[in-house]
Structure 1
Amino acid sequence: MSSDEGVRLSGLDRYLPVWIGAAMLAGLGLGWLFPDLHAFFGAMEIGGISLPIGAGLLLMMYPVLAKVRFDRFAAVARDRRLVALSIVLNWVVGPALMFALAWLFLADLPEYRTGLIIVGLARCIAMVIIWNDLALGDREAAAWLVAVNSVFQVVAFGALGWFYLDLLPGWLGLSTTGMDVSIWQVVVNVLVFLGIPLVAGLSSRWWGERRRGRAWYEERFLPRIGPVALYGLLFTVVVLFALQGESIVRQPIDVLRIAVPLVVYFGLMWAGSFVLSGLVGLGYARSTTVAFTAAGNNFELAIAVAIATFGAVSGQALAGVVGPLIEVPILVGLVYVSLWARRFFPDRRPPGDRTREPESDVVAQ
């Protein structure tokens, strides 16, 4: 990356792909060496939520949400282009694109096809926070859009599942597959993976600024907790790959077939959203935020629904698990594509923050 772009990545950030790759290999190795690891982790679930994965996600999200300036939410909410574009991309374009790709690439494999469609319905409310921060997106906009996605997820997830798995295939003369999903399951997922870290981040900022002042909070406290985000991310990646290490080794062709439409999906959703956001004048930071919130998916919800409806060893569950295995390396790569594309935007700094040096500080200063 050229020095004239003003991006000074920390040592941890600079080698992020290396850490991610090492975590993937470590997870695959653990899953292959210890086949019973799946049962071990499976025993640590409450309400369909994996405690190890949940812990990793919470550790990953808390430092980023602790950096959010919640007093800027009102300005984000007033940006109608941002909110409207994100809603359309997430709840109209995203599910429709995944439906089309699933039928295009997996027409002869109904279990995997259904699993992919469920992944497309579960819009991201967790890991997108860290991708956005690494790419220097608008933190406040990301937190706001994730909250909006959470509301839509509770209201629309079940209805969209019925539409894309039952009603629309029937209209098109295709085979149909029902999906039995509890609204309570969706609510719990949202409360755990957004509610807890959001409240923790809000409480940290309120307490820190009230007791020690904003300067201490942003210059002393945040740099100390920053590396926790990376550790949580790497732990989550290790657990995810360990859970399916044996399946990936035993069924490489199936995994490859599931991976192809996912790669196309992440690429099209991110690139289309990024370009469209720039064309409507959102600027770099918010274009980045819209792109990552549109491309990411809530894999925890998708996996939980697939297991609850079709069983832990079903093809639907395998497709759900392959989702984050492909999403993580693809979106890490898109972080660097996004940083490279900053040069094409006249205003490359976060809105409302003209003094902050635009550097990646999600994991360290």
Structure 2
Amino acid sequence: MSATAEAAPTTETGGKLSTLDKYLPVWIGLAMLAGLGLGRWVPGIEAALESVEIGGVSLPIAAGLLLMMYPVLAKVRYDRLDTVTGDKRLLISSLAVNWLVGPAVMFALAWAFLADLPEFRTGLIIVGLARCIAMVIIWNDLACGDREAATVLIALNSVFQVVAFGFLGWFYLSALPDWLGLEGAALDISGLDIAVNTAIFLGIPLAAGYLTRKLGERAKGREWYEGSFLPKIGPFALYGLLFTIVVLFALQGEAITTNPGDVARIALPLLAYFAIMWAGTFLLGRAIGLPYDRTATLAFTAAGNNFELAIAVAIATFGVTSGQALAGVVGPLIEVPVLVALVYVSLWARKFFREPAVPGAAASTRSDA
């Protein structure tokens, strides 16, 4: 697509959008409402959804996340990843924004907005520490970001998540508040737990996507794989997204609908966080000369968070009914609609980029109508 493309998502071939794609914000809104309704008015649904877990996350949510990520990772051209790993501007910027700036911004906002609510404040800080490795793949594809770059940055975040999450949890929840004379908290989470979570939610779909492309191209060739197979599995990424949203909100439907004031208090710093992280990183990408597709990827990987890890850590450490767990659940409640809106903002801002896209950049998860 040209830099003057309309600010609306399109198919990879430029075809007419399907009904699912065209009204995606509507379907997301309905999925959120459906989940809230189920959680509020269907007795026992929360216990049923939580009865089986994988990596500390409800099995239905895990299934939805895996379904959501697999089609996108099956589209990645793994033979082009070396063009990403050689881009030092992108890699260094991503690491700095994700692991230095992001947690610090969330810490500051949590204390600024929730100084009198320690449970919610702690929950938000945990969200800020959990850098995105899952749902960001959807936002990146919808915004016509560089799919190969997103894969590399997600893998990089995964490694740093395993290594740095425990240390950063101690620093931002205990050490730094103590140094500043503020009320601290404790976070007991092992590197092994985080490694298991990462292996499940990134390792499984990544391995499946890689093997699908490798075996599919070997059996029938790249033309068949990209022209016939990928369009068929593409919509399942969005089906997985919608299913995940329904289940996620069903788990906390009663808590959200019976405590709207608490949700509003948690939502304010989250709104500020997503706006600051996305806009600041998008401007950074433009300033350092990245093309649009990699700038979009940099911005969405910085703004998104690993809500499944944050929720799992909050539940394991503080309990399923804790304020920390509620703050973790409100994270995607705000993140989903805000980042969908930022997809459209990103596509509109594409006209300010004159550089040609990086060869092999992905366009979208969308299939032709």
TM-score with structure 2 setting the length: 0.95
Structure 1: 5+ residue stretches without partners: none
The residue type equivalent to 2:208 in the other structure is A
Q: How far, CA to CA, are the matches of 1:35 and 1:76 in structure 2?
A: 49
Q: How far, CA to CA, are the matches of 1:213 and 1:46 in structure 2?
A: 35
Among 335, 342, 352, which residue is 2:359 paired with?
Answer: 352
After superposition, give the CA deviation of every residue in 1:7-46 in whole Å (9 maximum; x if it has no partner): 6352222211011011111111111111421111110213
CA contact (8 A) 1:131 1:332 kept: yes
CA contact (8 A) 1:62 1:229 kept: yes
Structure 2: 5+ residue stretches without partners: 12-16
Q: How far, CA to CA, are the matches of 1:4 and 1:257 in structure 2?
A: 39
CA contact (8 A) 1:270 1:295 kept: yes
Residue 105 of structure 1: aligned partner: 113
Matched, 1:282 2:306: no
Aligned pairs, number:
359
Among 205, 226, 239, which residue is 1:218 paired with?
Answer: 226
Among 329, 334, 337, which residue is 2:337 paired with?
Answer: 329
Greater RCO (Cα-Cα under 8 Å, separation 6 or more): 2
Residue 14 of structure 2: aligned partner: none
Residue 126 of structure 2: aligned partner: 118
SS in 1 for 2:134: coil
CA contact (8 A) 1:35 1:246 kept: no
SS in 2 for 1:5: coil
SS in 1 for 2:25: helix
CA contact (8 A) 2:162 2:195 kept: yes
CA contact (8 A) 1:138 1:286 kept: yes
Change (3 A) 1:63 1:46: closer
Residue 76 of structure 1 deviates from its aligned partner by 0.4
Change (3 A) 1:123 1:3: closer
Moved over 4 A (4+): none
Residue 341 of structure 1: aligned partner: 349
Q: How far, CA to CA, are the matches of 1:298 and 1:359 in structure 2?
A: 23
After superposition, give the CA deviation of every residue in 1:38-95 in whole Å (9 maximum; x if it has no partner): 1111102134121100100111100000000111111100100000000000000000
Q: How far, CA to CA, are the matches of 1:42 and 1:134 in structure 2?
A: 30
Coordinate RMSD, CA, aligned? 1.5
Q: How far, CA to CA, are the matches of 1:337 and 1:281 in structure 2?
A: 19
What does residue range 285-296 of structure 1 map to in structure 2 within 5 Å?
285-296=293-304
Matched, 1:142 2:150: yes
CA contact (8 A) 1:342 1:348 kept: no
CA contact (8 A) 1:228 1:363 kept: no
Q: How far, CA to CA, are the matches of 1:290 and 1:302 in structure 2?
A: 21
Among 8, 12, 17, which residue is 2:10 paired with?
Answer: 8
SS in 2 for 1:126: coil
Matched, 1:26 2:29: no
Residue 359 of structure 1 deviates from its aligned partner by 5.1
After superposition, give the CA deviation of every residue in 1:86-126 in whole Å (9 maximum; x if it has no partner): 00000000000000000000000000000000000000000
